[in-house]
Amino acid sequence: MIDKILYYIFLAFVFIVKLMPQNFRNFFFKTLADILYLFASKTKKIIKTNLELAFGKDGLDQKRINEISKYCFYNMALWVKSSIENSFLSKEVMKNRFEFENKDIIDDALAQNKKIILISAHFGNLEVLGYALNAFVTPMVQVARESNFKLIDKFITNSREKVGAKIVYKEGAMRKLAKELKQGKVLSLIIDQNINYVEGTAVKFFGHDAHQTSGAAFLARKFDAVVIPVAIFNKDIDKYRVKFYEPVEHIVTDDSKDDIKKMTQLQANAIEKIIKEDPKQWFWCHKRWKSTNAKIYKQ
């Protein structure tokens, strides 16, 4: 019952957003982000903790920390805005929002019929990245987390799938992903979140111990797939640059466990490199080092 009530409230919000002129819609979500920033003291503390760990306590001054913190909230507002816009804006309108860099990397892999795994992070407008890749590069199989609000999940899933995506949920995802990759489908995996030590592989991330999913490395090794990092950079309002990177080194020896560990580290390095290109665009409000350094978030 609560799910239905929230769903109808959400639909009413979507309806209102659709009626907004584009300029006012942009202003509305920017203002919403600014308001949330003012009151989210706990989240700002997490952001500062992560930045000081990644760049050192003297690596960034307070002005830069505040700038990055504020941008995190703006980026989250963009995700919500794009989740709604993706459901009703035409492909012609959306196409004008993107420019692609190094697209030949994935075009060549597709032309050679290689098995492909795209890896990325919670960086830039992640929600619109999925749209850009599915609509204008290649349809993908994406992993999503189920929330407690099934009807809203369904709305977002339908929005993603209308431009070619196939959504699989995290529960039991590896078996489904293996099947899709074996059939030649392109996978898209977001690999930058904290994961517990049981499910994750130990890596160094910004010079500190962390755990990361090794799913992309495992699948790449098993099915001889090429792993291509990709990221979206927010530019001007409703303008984005989608950048592809050289494939992560593929390692195959007699020691599969060590191969997967090494490839997982190389993937972590690739994500770190992307973040360093424009640090403000990453999702710093996530407790990235919680599994290895939980105490820093309790101070």
**Out of 4-8, 200-204, 211-215, 292-296, least confident range:** 4-8
Rounded to whole angstroms, the Cα distance separating 147 from 169 reads: 10
Say if residue 148's pLDDT is above 80. no
Q: Pairing mode, if any, of strands 240-244 and 98-101?
A: parallel
Instruction: Find where tokens 């930058």 sit.
Output: 192
Q: In angstroms, what CA-CA distances link 229 with 84, 144, 296?
A: 26, 18, 29
In this prediction, residue 167 carries a pLDDT of 92
pLDDT tens per residue, range 173-192: 899 999 999 999 999 999 99
Residue 154's pLDDT band (cuts 50, 70, 90): confident
Angle (CA) 86-240-187 rounded to 5° is 65
- 3 state SS of 213: coil
Cα torsion 9, 11, 16, 21: sign: positive
Domain ranges in the chain are 2-297
Buried b (16+ CB within 10 A) or exposed e, 269-282: bbbbebbeeebbbb
Q: What is the mean pLDDT of residues 218-223?
A: 97
Rounded to whole angstroms, the Cα distance separating 240 from 187 reads: 22
pLDDT tens per residue, range 26-49: 999 999 999 999 999 999 999 999
Instruction: Determine what percent of the chain is predicted with pLDDT higher than 70.
Output: 100
pLDDT tens per residue, range 89-133: 999 999 999 999 999 999 999 999 999 999 999 999 999 999 999
pLDDT tens per residue, range 45-91: 999 999 999 999 899 999 999 999 999 999 999 999 999 999 999 99
Helices (runs of H) and strands (runs of E) counted in the chain = 12, 9
CA 280 from centre of chain: 14
The 8-class DSSP code of residue 165 comes to -
In this prediction, residue 32 carries a pLDDT of 96
Structure tokens at 67: 């700038």
In this prediction, residue 108 carries a pLDDT of 98
Say if residue 245's pLDDT is above 80. yes
DSSP string, 261-284: HHHHHHHHHHHHHHHHHSGGGB-T
Residues 6+ apart with CB under 8 A from 278: 233
The 8-class DSSP code of residue 285 comes to T
Angle (CA) 75-172-227 rounded to 5° is 60
* Mean pLDDT, rounded, of the chain: 94
Angle (CA) 71-47-187 rounded to 5° is 75
Contact by Cβ (8 Å): 194, 208: no
Q: In angstroms, what CA-CA distances link 17 with 14, 83, 105, 238?
A: 5, 11, 37, 15
Cross-strand pairs, 186 = 140
Task: Select the more confidently predicted residue: 145 or 165.
Answer: 165
Say if residue 272's pLDDT is above 90. yes
Q: Pairing mode, if any, of strands 186-190 and 166-169?
A: unpaired
